[in-house]
Structure 1
Amino acid sequence: MTPPNDPTSLTTATPDQLRLLTKIAVLYHEEGLAQGDISGRLNLSQARVSRCLKLAAELGIVRTSVVQPAGIYVGLEKALEEKYGLQEVVVADMVDDASLGMRLGSCAASYLETTIEVNDVVGISNWSTTLLQTVEAMRSRPRKVLSEVIQLIGGVGSPQAQIQATRLVSHLAELTSAKPFYMAAPGLVANNNIRQAFLDDPAVAATAEAWSRVNTSLVGIGTFPASPLWQASGNALTAAEENELLESGAVGEICLRYFDIDGKPMNPAIEERMISISSEAMLQIPRRIGVAGGMRKLAAIRGAINGGWVNVLITDSEVARQLLEPPRLDPGAPASRIR
């Protein structure tokens, strides 16, 4: 029997046509028969069976639905990518504050392992517990998977700051068989003369020169006022410098480069004694990965993505949802402080 002409819509289809389309769809999608088997059973050509399956989908008889498992937020990620023009967003399930760092680190490690390439030059910030957890969650590779790992900001200050900075760079370089570049200098020094003296040192100069080769940055997003980890690093701001930034509306920093809620660089006087990749150089890096979560960092994360300081964001589901909402004033804070 020759089937009737193909319908163009459900309203123009006859009951016989709908029955045929539905029967073929059930045999293929629910009973798992191959198109050749359906062809033999219904005495139709295989081309006709294929055409009917296509029609069943076009007319809505067959509908494809993707069921996202619990803790997976592809829709939320896509919405953030579209709203902020981000290359990619990875959202970790927010279970509790205690496990947040480990969840973010695990997601960031998985993202890096699947996207880094052998010719990539990765620049990494320090003073970030989340970045430490990221590197520690990565698996060692038997072959070279990165070219260079370069420290983007000085790490000498307190012994804790120096150890953490060295550990981040050395461990990531070891895992990926990359060449490490360390910044053997403080993030902040007393004045510009001392800063220049450090930059004249051959080892420090070699790392600073290597910043121009970075094509992927991996950074934490710092809050302002600073986190306890930063305050304990031995590279703290003076009270006057903090007040200047506060009055200017600073909400966060990356590698000591401060920005407001719109992502505008602050360019404070502190930069004259800073040993860190410049804002201009940082914003020119093609892939800028920021790993940060927790509601206390909401304003800093919003500023970072507004200003393009990061174009790949790895954060938690609670922060991700809030980023889709308009920013609001932080009660009790100056008018410039927005969350």
Structure 2
Amino acid sequence: MLSWEERRLMVKVAKLYYFEGWTQAQIAEKNNVSRPVISKLLNNAKKEGLVEIYIKDETVHTVDLEQKLEKMYELDGVMVVSTAGYEPVMAKRQLGKTAAAYVSKNIQDVSNLGISWGTTLLSLIEEYPYERRDNIHIVPIVGGMGTKDVHLHSNQLAFHLAQKMNTSCSYLYAPAMVETDDLKERLVNSKDISHVLEKGRNVDIALVSVGNPYKSSTMEKIGYLQESDLTSLSKAGAVGDISSRFFDAAGEEIDHPLNNQVIGLNLEEIKNIPQVVGIVEGSYKLDSIEAALRGGYLDVLIIDDQTAQALVQEY
């Protein structure tokens, strides 16, 4: 049981330290004691419940989610973006800003950067600052030709990111998906395409997103997936895709004709890239994101807070 004098001294020291902004050395000098004595008094004040420390900021919630997700899925890093009160378009833009800032800060030692395709990666590039990164070469890791929604295709994204970085990029002159295995074989074995695919396998970092083939699917929107495809994917157990490669709930790449017709890196090749940054948003993608994390395809996760919260609760 603390005496009145001990409690009084603790409160006095805590008030000077937490409210008046004094250093421990200044308080020690004022009270003619050593600095370790003040440090011990402050610790004891917390233990006795005389001092309770709260971090009053909305980012406490997101930092907590980040730490939980890092541990749950053994990730190198997680950034949770607060999107409360934002319309969907602005939420995606906020995610793009955060992802752009992360990439800009973490590519000092990068020589080759791979990029997939889709609306989330488009947001990143739209928010990316103009800077000089002429030591980096951008490589599309999946085909990207067509006439519909061209701005979302990997070649276009690679070109625009290269413009923002004032650097060079490769082009994968092939669609993401072709109609027959024979056509795919001929294309991937052609000199130009095989050269770019090999570059893609050897990038230092890759930017990808995760898709849900059944809800708000960009692949369906731009005509890569038909109703019959969705039915057969569902029967095969597909829950999501990365770079147009479909995987099941366990995160395993499924055995399906559509996976065989993709011109781009397969999931094992993506997993072998030293750092894969996944930029994802939307709780409708929850099962897809969870499976991608289970499969170990992502090293860094940049995600909105609502979906992050749902992931933590599902685990």
Q: Given the alignment, which residue of 128, 131, 138 partners 2:121? A: 131
Change (3 A) 1:101 1:33: closer
Amino acid of the structure 2 residue aligned with 1:112: V
Residues 140 and 175, structure 1, Cα contact 8 Å, conserved in 2: yes
Give how far 1:162 is off: 7.0
Question: Where do 1:169-248 residues align within 5 Å?
Answer: 169-225=158-214, 227=216, 229-236=218-225, 239=228, 241-248=229-236
Separation in structure 2 between the aligned mates of residue 203 and residue 170 of structure 1, nearest angstrom: 17
Q: 1:26 to 1:266 in 2, by over 3 A?
A: same
**Is the contact made by 1:187 and 1:274 (CA closer than 8 Å) also made in structure 2?**
yes
CA offset at residue 124 of structure 1?
0.8
Mapping for residues 26-175 of structure 1, pairs under 5 Å: 26-46=15-35, 48-57=37-46, 59-69=48-58, 73-92=62-81, 93-94=83-84, 95-126=86-117, 128-144=118-134, 147-161=136-150, 164-175=153-164
Greater shift in the superposed pair: 131-140 or 116-125: 116-125
How far residue 266 of structure 1 moved from its aligned partner, in angstroms, is: 0.5
Task: Give deviations 1:261-290, integer Å, cap 9, x for gaps.
Answer: 221210212333321101211112232222
Q: How big is the shift at 1:125?
A: 0.6
1:242 CA drift (Å): 3.8
The residue type paired with residue 121 of structure 2 is L
Contact 2:208 2:278 in 1 (8 A): yes
Paired residue for 2:260? 272
| Distance 1:324-1:60 versus aligned 2 partners, 3 A rule | same
Q: Distance in 1 between matches of 2:217 and 2:239?
A: 16
- The CA distance in 1 between the partners of 2:310 and 2:240, in whole Å, is 17
Q: Deviations over 1:272-321 (max 9, x none)?
A: 33211012111122322222222332222222122222232222222222
Q: CA deviation at 1:200?
A: 3.0
The 2-side partners of 1:132 and 1:66 are apart by: 34
Question: Alpha-carbon deviation of 1:135?
Answer: 0.8
Report the CA distance shift for 1:250/1:57 in structure 2 as closer, same or farther (over 3 A): same
- The alpha carbon displacement at 1:86 in A equals 2.6
Question: Counterparts of 2:273 and 2:206 in 1: how far apart (Å)?
Answer: 7
Aligned residues: percent identity? 28
Name the larger-Rg structure.
1
Give the TM-score normalised by the residue count of structure 2.
0.87
CA RMSD, 1 decimal: 2.7
Give the letter for the 1:150 counterpart: V
What's the TM-score, normalizing by structure 1?
Answer: 0.81
**CA distance, structure 1, for counterparts of residue 281 and residue 16 of structure 2:** 48
Distance 2:141 2:90 in 1: 27
Deviation at 1:254, TM superposition (A): 0.9
SS in 1 for 2:208: strand
CA gap 1:37/1:78 in 2 versus in 1, 3 angstroms: closer
- Secondary structure of 2:206's counterpart equals strand
Q: 1:78 is paired with a residue of what secondary structure?
A: helix
Distance 1:72 1:262, change over 3 A: same
| Residue pair 1:156, 1:184 contacting (<8 A) in 2 also | yes
Match of 1:19 among 8, 32, 38: 8
Contact 1:121/1:214, CA 8 A, preserved across alignment:
yes
Aligned residues: 313
| Secondary structure of the corresponding residue to residue 324 of structure 1 | helix
How far, CA to CA, are the matches of 1:71 and 1:33 in structure 2?
Answer: 25
